[in-house]
Structure 1
Amino acid sequence: MLSEVIARVELLIVVIAHFVLTRFTVHSRFWNSQAWTGVREEWFPKMRAKVRTIGNIRQMLSDGYEGNKAFALPVIAEKPWLVLPHSCIPELLAKSDSEIDMKIIHEEQLMHEYTTGSLGRHVVDVPIQYDILLRQVNRKLPLLISAFNEELDKSFCHYWGTDTSYSEVNLSETCEKIVTQALNRIFAGKEICRDEGFLEHSRLYSEGVGRNAIMLDVLQWIIEESFARNDPKELDPRMITQRLLALNFVAIDTTHMSMAHTILDLYRSPNSDDFLVGLREECERVLQANGGQWTKSGLDDLVCVDSTIRESMRYSDLGYISLTRMVVDPKGTQFNANGTNSSSPLSVPPGIRICVPAHAIHRDAALYPSPYEFQAFRFSKAREKYRGTQTELSEPKVSIVTTTDKFLPFGHGRHACPGRFFAAQQMKLMLAYLVQNYDVEKLSTKIQNKIMVGTTKPDASLKIKVKRRKVNTMSAASKLSLITKLHRAHTAPLPILGRPVTQKRDCKPSLSSVNTRRKCRQLLAS
């Protein structure tokens, strides 16, 4: 009898504690004062709204967006988000990292302590791999074109075949493998990027490191940066390979899904035939103007290719929310987010997660005419109209890498994705290669993406029919590869990392650098 009384008292205490915590804490009072999207008058309304975000998050964001003020977004298995209106983006970007922080949000989502261990924790705290993206990769983009295009040719031929009659391939799977192989030609080198075991078992991570004839790979730059810091911890091969894995993680998944979306959007569009005529004409014209080789200036002239990818990133956005931050200032922060009819600011306490509704912004008819229609040349029409005129020179160019308050796949402001220039170059090369060398059977307009809680992905089981085009006996990439080999046979290698390199290779990598590469290769191979 006594034990039953004690049990009931304990239960009563728990119920009272829950009531107090949900009614009187700072966070609870804040959330109770907000408008919630997707919450209906029913039993357990917020809990059921969280479940609905699994497949209905886009509609919930659109419904909340129409109010033009901040609203709460319930998310299953997570804390809610405070979603700010489009008008608050300048305010959000103007706030310092000591007031609202982006890094802490990424750490919460990836949980580095559990997914990558102590080494991964250091890679996040001292992210020199992203410094390399800014200082090395972005500056040397023209030098990467030849190697990447050569790998595209090999990977497309391998995974999509060279048969001139239609055959079925899995869209998502083959895109992932092609992107993994081509990107790791830059990240790890020629040997490992073609290793079948590596591609099969670890598409999102580099399983090894290989030597390129001219050391033109990101791994070498990571090693040299580690030596330059003269920190024993940075010279650990495990630390170096962890940094390479981090680059693979952020680059491959988003790039392959963006390309799969682009292919899907392009070939299921009712206007796909017209789009393909324009894309192929542009590729042939630009390639001819550049002597049959892809160059940096030539890629910049692919305005229709660029527009097609950018439009797909708007139309089939990978993430439904963007500019994610957490309020970290102990005093909280404020936003003018209470609607146009209110002059009082919204006070947000510390610990609240904030974002903007990227999907709803990308589908706003006031920002994009016919927002629910895929218009491949939406962003290239103006540039094509004034091509070669003085107006073209005075108009600001809008490309994949251009971030604005209405185009948010790469974020916006000072924390915009530093790797977007590298990713854009690779995606343009990939789409140009595809439309020049392959036909894809037109897809049904009824094909839909798979909607997850915070993202959208192509159906993993979707198969498409492809065939090699009978346009050229030798692809442009193969011609470029041959020209490059002939050029290297008669001239000295290009200088890398600012060091003159002769045919005798007087400036060889140091013995310690070579040993470090060998240890990294052995570590990942095991």
Structure 2
Amino acid sequence: MALMTQYLWDVALPVTAIAFVLGIVLVNVLFSNRSRAVAWEHLDIVGVESKTSQLSWLRAILTSPATTARRVQHGYSAFCRRKSLPFAIPSIWTGGAVVVLPPSLLHLLNRPDSELAAVPAQLASIQLPYMFKDPDIYENVIHFDAVRRIMSQKNLDAMAADASEEIEAAFRHYWDSQLKEGEWTTMNNWDACGSVVTRIAMRSLIGAPLCRDEKLLRLLECHGNAVLLGTVGINCMPPFLRPWLGPLVGLRAKYYQAQCLKIMVPFIENKIRIQGHMRNDAEAPVDFLQALIARCAKAGPDQMAPSKIALRILALSTMSFMGMAYVFAHIVLDMYGSPSRDDFVSGLEAECRQVSEANGGLGCKDAVASLYRVESALRESMRFSDFSATNLSRDVAADEFDVGNGVMLPKGVRVVFPTLSIHHDSAFYDNASQYDAFRFSRQFEGPKDEVEKQKGERDSITANNKSFLAFGYGRHACPGRWYAAQVLKQMLAYLVLNYDIEVIDKRPTRQAILNIILPPTEMKIRVRHK
């Protein structure tokens, strides 16, 4: 009996469960593909041996978490680059297929949401419905109105001063406290960069002194990691299982949310009281939290609950953690792990010192805007170490959507763009497989008169560009990209001015789950003061 029971738990039940799931997936694939058969007739499909073989589709869908990035690259080379044609890949993300569009169709991102809808596809990318209990946080995104007001180009000067102060304080707290004069200290690169980024991002979102509350900052990091890991896990589930298993995966993120709210809510309540006593905007400078409170007040009393405002900040902080920490951790590895490290670092340091001396520091918009080499190094890292194989996802909202070449996509089909492949395309970038910190600034170096002629051609990191898509493209490009780019430039400038860095480990081959390129979280660096 004991052996039979053990066999039941160890073998029979798991096999039965797997067979049951595979059966449901197969049925789902059958109906999904039949309903969209017309679309697949006119599309090349990468990863399926036969369009009409349901077993081939099932196998391709189940292996998609490990093969999506390779399939996208293969399809891009075969169809997008050579023929400017779309193609499809099987994906467990949708339970069917995802259509990958060539860069020549980027203009479609400017079509109205009634034709190509951004929000449903973006929610499916980060799975916020399973991470946040209140649907108003992700369905009624009024917090982005505050982002557009405070983190816009016209407000960069005020944000630069605050960021400069917090960058110095954060590096001193997290890095300098571990360093000894003249000696090398080993750190985990992901943790060291993530701690600094979290604190600086919270300075912008909630302000001092709460941005320096260590308990809150650690909880925010745990929350960000829970959302990131939960998102990957849920996206790897068949869609029909998500309503049952998704809430379980999201419990960890919701636990950390509750812990964060215990600290944030009293602070926000006090902010609301103070703001209520203000008679005009001149009594105090408007920071992000003040702007968010004002926007929530305009939206109605139900939006003024301190817990709801705190959740909106948490949603934004998670995006900052997932985005800015990824970028900053990778530029350290890209630049300091490059064979040309010494040339890159000395060139950046020379520029930073010259600009800092000319402007009395790097705490103003004009100074940061003059860091052309720094911007180039940052932009190159975002190109070289893209965080996803595909991005800019949209769902077809119209009954039919014409993408050209006889391809009509039915309602509900998800489309994406192969951003990683575009960023590594030699048609757009010479030596695209190499990190070149000065790729975007080198052409503007040289005799002053020649540089002046080319100034109008300089392409900013935040500009819409068909070959650089890190901040999105078109109507739904990242609204906080000016702030993010400025802060990352300030952080990199502070780094090269104050620290010597060596990458200890050999850079591992980049791994992907579905379209997400996983960060090398175990990489170590050695750091010492200059």
Distance change (3 Å), C-alpha of 1:293 and 1:65 = closer
Write the distance in 2 (CA, Å) between the matches of 1:77 and 1:227: 37
Matching residue of 1:513: none
Matching residue of 1:152: 167
Residue of 256, 267, 278 corresponding to 2:336: 267
1:102-117 → structure 2 map (5 Å cutoff): 102-117=118-133
Shift of 1:254: 0.4
Residue of 53, 56, 71 corresponding to 1:60: 71
Determine if contact 2:39/2:407 at 8 Å carries over to the other structure: no
Mind listing any 5+ residue stretches in structure 2 that lack a counterpart?
Answer: 1-19, 225-256, 275-282
Q: Which amino acid aligns with 1:156?
A: F
Shift of 1:458: 2.5
Matching residue of 2:211: 193
Write the distance in 1 (CA, Å) between the matches of 2:29 and 2:156: 58
Residue of 420, 435, 438 corresponding to 1:377: 438
DSSP 3-state at the match of 1:308: helix
Write the distance in 2 (CA, Å) between the matches of 1:392 and 1:56: 46
Distance change (3 Å), C-alpha of 1:293 and 1:88 = closer
Matching residue of 1:295: 364
Shift of 1:445: 5.3
Matching residue of 1:339: none
Residue of 290, 294, 300 corresponding to 1:220: 290
Write the distance in 1 (CA, Å) between the matches of 2:102 and 2:451: 38
Shift of 1:306: 0.2
Q: Which amino acid aligns with 2:92?
A: I
Shift of 1:99: 0.7
Determine if contact 1:257/1:457 at 8 Å carries over to the other structure: no
Does residue 396 (structure 1) correspond to residue 457 (structure 2)? The answer is: yes
Shift of 1:21: 4.5
Q: Which amino acid aligns with 1:62?
A: Q
Does residue 84 (structure 1) correspond to residue 95 (structure 2)? The answer is: no
Matching residue of 2:56: 45
Determine if contact 2:190/2:521 at 8 Å carries over to the other structure: yes
Matching residue of 1:136: 150
Write the distance in 2 (CA, Å) between the matches of 1:62 and 1:20: 24
1:367-446 → structure 2 map (5 Å cutoff): 367-385=428-446, 387=448, 389=450, 391-392=452-453, 394-443=455-504, 446=507
Distance change (3 Å), C-alpha of 1:265 and 1:234 = same
Distance change (3 Å), C-alpha of 1:24 and 1:106 = closer
DSSP 3-state at the match of 1:202: helix
The Cα offsets for residues 355-396 of structure 1, whole Å up to 9 and x where unpaired, read as 111111111111111110111111111222365657446532
Q: TM-score, normalised by structure 2?
A: 0.77
Matching residue of 1:468: 529
Write the distance in 1 (CA, Å) between the matches of 2:131 and 2:327: 24
DSSP 3-state at the match of 2:121: helix
Mind listing any 5+ residue stretches in structure 1 that lack a counterpart?
Answer: 1-10, 337-343, 470-526
Matching residue of 2:136: 122
Write the distance in 2 (CA, Å) between the matches of 1:239 and 1:311: 38
The Cα offsets for residues 31-62 of structure 1, whole Å up to 9 and x where unpaired, read as 36532223358994333334544344332212
Query: Which stretch shows the higher mean deviation, 405-414 or 133-142?
Result: 133-142
Write the distance in 1 (CA, Å) between the matches of 2:486 and 2:448: 21
Residue of 34, 46, 65 corresponding to 2:43: 34
DSSP 3-state at the match of 1:395: helix
Q: CA RMSD in A?
A: 2.8
Determine if contact 1:315/1:372 at 8 Å carries over to the other structure: yes
1:172-191 → structure 2 map (5 Å cutoff): 172-191=190-209
Q: Which amino acid aligns with 1:371?
A: A
Matching residue of 1:459: 520
DSSP 3-state at the match of 2:324: helix
Query: Which stretch shows the higher mean deviation, 185-194 or 200-209?
Result: 200-209
Write the distance in 2 (CA, Å) between the matches of 1:216 and 1:95: 34
Shift of 1:240: 1.4
Write the distance in 2 (CA, Å) between the matches of 1:388 and 1:128: 47
DSSP 3-state at the match of 1:117: coil
Write the distance in 1 (CA, Å) between the matches of 2:98 and 2:132: 26
Q: Which amino acid aligns with 1:334?
A: D
Write the distance in 2 (CA, Å) between the matches of 1:394 and 1:43: 56
Q: Which amino acid aligns with 1:221?
A: A
Distance change (3 Å), C-alpha of 1:201 and 1:394 = closer
Percentage identity across aligned positions?
30
1:267-286 → structure 2 map (5 Å cutoff): 267-286=336-355
Q: TM-score, normalised by structure 1?
A: 0.78
Write the distance in 1 (CA, Å) between the matches of 2:35 and 2:128: 29
DSSP 3-state at the match of 1:305: helix
Write the distance in 1 (CA, Å) between the matches of 2:33 and 2:483: 49
Determine if contact 1:187/1:218 at 8 Å carries over to the other structure: yes
Distance change (3 Å), C-alpha of 1:364 and 1:126 = same
DSSP 3-state at the match of 2:122: helix
Q: Which amino acid aligns with 1:132?
A: A
Residue of 59, 68, 75 corresponding to 2:91: 75
Distance change (3 Å), C-alpha of 1:23 and 1:108 = closer
Shift of 1:261: 0.8
Shift of 1:169: 0.9
Determine if contact 2:428/2:467 at 8 Å carries over to the other structure: yes
Shift of 1:216: 5.3
Write the distance in 1 (CA, Å) between the matches of 2:171 and 2:456: 36
DSSP 3-state at the match of 2:91: coil
1:503-518 → structure 2 map (5 Å cutoff): none
Write the distance in 1 (CA, Å) between the matches of 2:128 and 2:507: 39
